Structure 1
Amino acid sequence: MLLAERHLKSHADFLSAYDRCAAQLDPPVPPGYGPAKTQFYRWLSGRMVGLPRDYHCRVLAKMFPGWTVEELFQMAEAAPTVARAHESNRLGADVELGEFLGAEMITSGITLVYPTFELPLRPVQPCRPAETPYRCTFGRKVRAFAADHRSDVLVALPQTEIRGLLYVFSVLQRHTAESIEIRSDRDIVADSDRPYISFGLTCNDCTRMYLETVERPLFTLNGSGAESGSHFEQLELTDGSRYDSSADHNVGVIARVRPSPELHPGRYWIFCAGLGPRGTTGASWYLANSWTLLQRRAGDREFVAVVGVGEKSDGAVQLEHMLIESTS
């Protein structure tokens, strides 16, 4: 295939070459006039009716000397059926994923948010049970490294939340050409005027901000003896359904909400979290592998999905309940 020979099969690579050739024309075609992703894959599908606009034809003739524009699109029409089906399926997946993430995330880039902890290096006065900090009630395996801006703390990264983030990061890399930024919860809470995907329950400040500031969050957390700083053990949805985590059955939650539907109708906050050792990683695995099911059921509405996760594998996960908000 001509594009494969020139290493131009991805939309991003094609656009770079397009802009370079467009600048060499007389008169030049300004940057940013290249085909959108959906248009690019339509060109490759062999289903074009007629030819692209004149300025596209000028650039394509420059990009592929020795070929007429008609010949280029005849090649696409003559491509094997399997190849056309592959490109068509990829186009469909890209469009559907864009709908799942929301228009603003596709336009401005994808932000994945991980929780952090600061661990003092010098001894501190132990807290009495009633004074135990809210976020310290969650036991987590952590990776720690010295903070470069302070010499008296370690910054700790929870292992399970990072593993969950990587599941989702991997699928986003395969299905989108959008930029992906990975930021700490502390950074995002300080500047939350953006869409994002957040990992972790109350260990993540983004999740806590949602639970504490929204009048009617789609899910809440219940705990036994919460006054004494115990673990949260139960997830409750707005329809009254409740889910408990146990040693052999963890609970994961995936929620997609609109923080400001009037101001930012295309903005979603997506939360991926859970109760138990595999709650968050199981929810992340499910999100990475079954986002199409969630999107087809929810459309553009807010939703919260509860998944059950087995004790032996992040992938031993199944959807138990999905609550979809009405549009009214």
Structure 2
Amino acid sequence: MAAALIRLKVELRERHLQTHSAFCREYDKIAGTIDPALVGTFPGRTQFHRWLSGSLKGLPYPHHCRVLEGMFPGYTAEQLFERYTDELPLSHASAITVADSVTGLLDVIENRINQPTFGSVDWEPERPGDAPRSHTGLTAHDKWDVATPTRQLAQRLLQMEQTEYLDSREVSQFAYLAGHIIDLDTRIDIQISADGSAHLTYRYETLNMTGRPLTRMSRELWFKYTDGGLDIGPLRESTRRLAIQRIHDTPSLSKFACQLSPAIQPGESAVVGYTCDGGKFDDELYWRQTIARYTRHFSVHLRHENAGDLISCSATEEHPDGAENSATEDLIWDCDGDDAIVTLHREYLRPNQSVTLFWEVTREHS
């Protein structure tokens, strides 16, 4: 039986917000205008899918309803979750057969899975006027006797197109990144206490687009000031067991690896992450993050406790060639009592890029 088409799904498609990351970005913008405490309370991918599939019983939690009604003025939450009976128009370019899509994906993935492309990959947001894409324009094999990893990756992308609301353009981009590990979502939470001590949480939703199992990911963390060393541990909500392997440590720098069990197989995605304590913020308030992988959505969520007034905040994005541009337009900031709250969102980041968040407050650490 086909899933019910609801009005919310139609409205999101019309605004090009049908992907989870695009929805969350818009959700946070509207939430910040309603109540800063609602920023970051967007639904997870599974819950978002339930909303759009029509399988939700009743309505979401009240705070979700408040934000949704702010996102779609003129509609109540009840109306957004009603069945939509009018047919949605389909463009000729998107009316492709499944066989053609699968064949095109197989061709692209098989050409790149063992020789991944660097540098020239189309990895950027959709531009106004971009035509919808299909996989039929790609050179296709007449044969279906491809390696198992190739088939697994193609099946995963087509599944994501159906269940995670990626459009054909994004599926095509992911296919061209075969041979790479992709971070679908990277979230960094920085909690700074009144004395400047910091608690960091890194959360990655990682997609394995290679032909081999992913068992290990290397990382490093650096602070100008520490309490004598960095204490790094696995994130409890990870969907894989993590063991932290310390590779090189100094009082302010730690190079380490996250060992994963079971491995993330080709075509699989998993949530993995780690926490860090022991770092301190003192005379310089900034956080610079180097991007290790192709990253679809990236966000930093900062809470600086007992900071006083937020004097200024800004962000920059540095590219692999050294060029730099402002990312301040994607900042959301506010104050909660004496706490400063800053959220930064970026999308379509490449390996060896970096994103830096700067902020200045009135209260100095004791």
TM-score using structure 2 length:
0.28
Report the structure, 1 or 2, having the larger strand content: 2
TM-score using structure 1 length:
0.31
Report the structure, 1 or 2, having the larger helix content: 1
